[in-house]
C-alpha cells in the first residue's frame, strides 16, 4: 500500500478512536492515538494475515497480540478497516451486548482477537506460546506482541523475556509502545524503566530502536529490520518512541488522557484536527 494511503488510514483511525471513546463516554484515547501508526503499518503494509475467514489458531499467518489491551479502540478500528468485522460494529464499542469489549476478549468471538488482554503483563507470554506452537508445527510465520511501556513494570514481562531468550524464540517480535506515560504520570517518575534498550539486551534479545514512530516509512523500515534480525536464535524487540495522544494537540504527551473520554467541547476540538478522510463508521 502506498504511503499516502497509509497516512489516510492512520488519520481516519485516529478519528475513529476519538468518535468511539466519545460515543461510549469511556475508554483510553491517549495510548490508542499514540499506537495508531504502528498498528496501521503492521496491518496494512507489514504482516501477512488473513481477515476472512478468521482463524483463531492463526496457523499459516502472522499473529498479533495487543498485550496493552486498554488501547484497543485503535486496534478495533484497524481490524474493522482491515476487513475482520463490519465497520459499523465500531459504534458498539464498550456497550452492552457488544463484541467490542472494553478490553480485548475472545468470549464474544470478535474476529482478530485470539486471547483476552487487559490485566497487564500477560500478552508476551501468550505470544511466546504461539511462537513456540508455530515452531513445533513448522509454520514459518511470526508473532508480533505490542507492549505498553508502563506495562513493563509487571514482573511477568521479565519472566517472559528470560524464557524467550532461553528457548531461542526467534519468530517473535515484541514492540514496546514507548511513550513514557503511565496512569499516574511519567514513567520516569512513577517507575523508571530506563535504560530500556540495555535491559532487553541484557536479557538476550536483539534490540532495535525506532525514534520516528509516527513516520510510516520509518516504521515499515524498522519492522523490516526487525524481521531481518529474527530467525537468528534470539527474540527481537523494537522500542518505538511514540507520543501519547498523537494527532490531537491537547492530548499529546499528557498522561491524564490515559483513560478518560473527551467532553463535548474537547470532542469538537479533537475532530477539528481529525477530518473525515475515508468515511466514518
Partner 1 sequence: MRPRYVDTGARDTRSGFGAGLVEAAQKDGRIVALAADLMSSVKMDEFARLFPERFFQAGVAEANMIGVAAGLATVGWIPFVGTFANFAAGRAYDQLRQSVCYSGKNVKIAASHAGLTLGEDGATHQMLEDIGLMRGLPGMTVICPCDYNQTRLATLAAAQWEGPVYLRFGRPPVPNFTPPEDPTFEIGKAQVLLTGRDAVIFATGHMVWQALQAAYALEEEGLEVAVINLHTLKPVDTETVVEWLSRTPVAITAEEHQVHNGLGDIISGIACRYCPRWVYRVAVQDTFGESGKPSELLAKYGLTAAHIAQAVRQALARVG
Alpha carbons 179 and 188: distance in angstroms, whole number: 11
List the one residue from 18, 20, 115, 147 that touches partner 1 (CB under 8 A): 115
Beta strands 172-178 and 236-241, pairing class: parallel
From the list 15, 70, 81, 134, which residue makes contact with partner 1 (rule: CB under 8 A)? 134
User: CA-to-CA distance for 217 and 237, rounded, in angstroms?
Assistant: 19
Round to whole Å and give the CA distance between 185 and 207: 26
The residue range among 24-32, 45-53, 133-141, 207-215 that interacts with partner 1, by the rule CB under 8 A, is 133-141
CA-CA-CA-CA torsion sign (3, 88, 265, 33): negative
Residue among 163, 220, 154 nearest 6 (CA):
220
Nearer to partner 1, 94 or 114 (CB): 114
- Characterize 241-266 residue by residue with b for buried, 16 or more Cβ atoms within 10 angstroms of its Cβ, and e for exposed: bbbbbbbbeebbbebebbeebbeeeb
**DSSP β-bridge partners for residue 146:** 66, 175
**CB of residue 106 to partner 1, shortest distance in Å:** 5
* Binding residue (CB under 8 A) for partner 1 from 132, 190, 271, 278: 132
Q: Is 168 in the site for partner 1 (CB under 8 A)?
A: no
- Quick one: which of 163, 212, 218, 254 contacts partner 1 (CB under 8 A)? 163
Identity of the residue, 14 or 142, whose beta carbon is nearer to partner 1 in the bound complex: 142
What is the closest distance, in whole angstroms, from the C-beta atom of residue 167 to partner 1 in the complex? 7
Q: How far is the CB of 61 from partner 1 (least distance, A)?
A: 12
Should residue 50 be labelled a site residue for partner 1 when binding is judged by CB under 8 A?
no
Closest to partner 1 by CB, 23 vs 68, is 68
Alpha-carbon span 45 to 23, nearest angstrom = 29
If you count them, how many residues does the chain have?
281
Nearer to partner 1, 65 or 80 (CB): 65
- The minimum distance between CB 60 and partner 1, in angstroms, equals 11
Q: HSE of 135 in the Cβ direction (CA atoms, 13 Å)?
A: 16
Taking CB under 8 A as the criterion, the residue among 68, 125, 171, 187 binding partner 1 is 125
Chain residues in the site for partner 1 (CB under 8 A): 56-59, 105-107, 114-119, 121-134, 136-137, 155-156, 159-160, 162-163, 166-167
Amino acid at each position: 500500500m502506498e504511503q499516502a494511503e497509509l497516512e489516510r488510514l492512520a488519520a481516519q483511525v485516529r478519528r475513529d478512536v476519538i468518535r468511539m471513546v466519545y460515543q461510549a463516554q469511556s475508554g483510553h484515547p491517549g495510548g490508542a492515538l499514540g499506537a495508531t501508526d504502528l498498528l496501521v503499518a503492521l496491518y496494512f503494509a507489514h504482516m501477512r494475515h488473513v481477515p476472512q475467514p478468521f482463524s483463531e489458531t492463526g496457523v499459516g499467518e502472522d499473529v498479533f497480540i495487543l498485550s496493552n489491551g486498554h488501547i484497543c479502540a485503535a486496534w478495533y478500528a484497524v481490524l474493522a478497516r482491515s476487513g475482520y468485522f463490519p465497520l459499523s460494529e465500531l459504534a458498539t464499542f464498550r456497550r452492552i451486548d457488544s463484541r467490542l469489549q472494553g478490553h480485548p476478549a475472545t468470549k464474544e468471538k470478535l474476529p482478530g482477537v485470539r486471547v483476552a488482554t487487559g490485566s497487564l503483563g500477560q500478552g508476551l507470554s501468550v505470544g511466546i506460546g504461539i511462537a513456540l506452537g508455530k515452531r513445533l508445527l513448522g509454520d514459518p510465520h511470526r508473532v508480533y506482541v505490542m507492549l505498553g511501556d508502563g506495562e513493563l513494570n509487571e514482573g511477568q514481562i521479565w519472566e517472559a523475556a528470560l524464557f524467550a531468550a532461553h528457548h531461542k524464540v526467534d519468530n517473535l517480535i515484541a514492540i514496546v509502545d514507548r511513550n513514557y506515560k503511565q496512569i499516574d504520570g511519567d514513567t520516569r517518575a512513577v517507575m523508571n524503566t530506563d535504560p530500556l534498550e540495555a535491559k532487553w539486551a541484557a536479557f538476550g534479545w536483539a534490540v532495535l530502536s525506532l525514534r520516528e514512530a509516527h513516520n510510516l516509512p520509518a516504521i515499515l523500515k524498522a519492522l523490516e529490520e526487525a524481521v531481518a534480525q529474527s530467525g537468528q536464535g534470539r527474540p527481537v524487540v523494537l522500542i518505538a518512541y511514540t507520543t501519547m495522544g498523537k494527532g490531537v494537540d491537547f492530548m499529546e504527551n499528557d498522561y491524564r488522557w490515559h483513560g478518560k473520554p473527551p467532553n463535548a467541547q474537547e470532542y469538537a476540538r479533537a475532530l477539528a484536527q481529525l477530518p473525515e478522510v475515508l468515511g466514518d463508521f
